Amino acid sequence: MKKLLNTLYITSENKYLSLDGENVVIKEEGAELGRMPLHNLEMIVTFSRAGASPALMGKCADNNISIVFLTPSGSFLARVEGKTKGNVLLRKKQYEVAADEQESLKIARNTIVGKVYNGRWVIERTIRDHSLQTDADKLKIVSERLRDKIPDIRISNNKDQLRGIEGELASQYFSVFDELILQQKEDFYFHERNRSPPLDRVNALLSFVYTLLTRMMAASLETVGLDPCVGFLHGDRPVRYSRAVDMMEELRPALADRFVLRLINKRMVGKTDFIEKEDGAILLTDDARKRVLDEWQKRKQEQIIHPYLKEKIQWGMVPYMQAMFLARYLRGDIDAYPPFLWK
């Protein structure tokens, strides 16, 4: 249980929520673990399978407090709301901003600043911790290029220019990705990013984990009442989570890429965990996929200090915090969308 930005998060899967007077009560197997006054809350987000009492849901509906139900792995299930439909105004604002080139550009620029900043610090961490196992000079050159380009992102005039800068810097980042692989070099190598299908084991892992991250981001946007299919950088497409793809960009390096590198460098996956299809596609075996999912869940439970909130939270909560910041920006509660800047 953790309260952040007037939102109560229930991150354990066996907690039951009930009502006692003006308080939400958190229980497990009948025993009370904690309680919190409802007047302090705007939203309750629960990852628990146990659910909530009808009395609590009714009370929250009457007081305009949303309850969002997610699976323990973070997939969106449902939202309970009262008569006031604040999300209508929020989504209307989202659509207006998405249709406005300059307004959407402000958010897109900050998102890409986060992506490049975090990619640079993935490289810097490797230089700091493993300088004797890698080509530190080569890594330093790319790190400095990423750093020097951040001002260009901030002053980009349109989305085409921004996407051009993003593509150039992504190429720079992936040009040294193989240097970040420290173990099992014969079986895990990286030459270039390829997908649909992935053609080597590293790309197979990246594609799988990026899918997990996109789903997390989509659930986070749904949780705060935003449309995950309407983005500010990537164009809207049928059945594509454009906004989720936008927002996952800043989390790719720090959360997804470092997780993939950890799987390889700590030998949590090996050569035998992959199969090659007739078309050359490399895919995880079913057993390996389950193990990666288990490790992903463990990774999400690890704690960090959020750089903007200055509070300790789980990695798995970061997408929800970023979605909350975006909603607050669109409502006019904060002056700019603050990207996640990891170090």
| 123 and 180 Cβ atoms separated by less than 8 Å | yes
Instruction: Report d(CA 284, CA 273) in Å as an integer.
Output: 6
- The b/e string for 332-341 (b: 16+ C-beta within 10 A; e otherwise) is eeeeebbbbe
DSSP structural state of residue 343: -
Radius of gyration for the alpha carbons in the chain, expressed in angstroms and rounded:
21
Question: What is the biggest distance separating any 2 CA atoms in the chain, rounded to whole angstroms?
Answer: 63
- Domains assigned to the chain: 2-84 (3.100.10.20), 91-331 (1.20.120.920)
Q: 169 falls in which pLDDT band (50, 70, 90)? A: very high
Instruction: Tell me the pLDDT tens digit for each residue of 85-99.
Output: 557 889 999 999 999
Q: Three-state SS for 80?
A: strand
**Mean pLDDT calculated for residue range 321-335:** 94
Instruction: Tell me the pLDDT tens digit for each residue of 312-326.
Output: 999 999 999 999 999
| 282 and 7 Cβ atoms separated by less than 8 Å | no
Instruction: Tell me the pLDDT tens digit for each residue of 177-232.
Output: 999 999 999 999 999 998 878 999 999 999 999 988 988 898 899 889 898 888 88
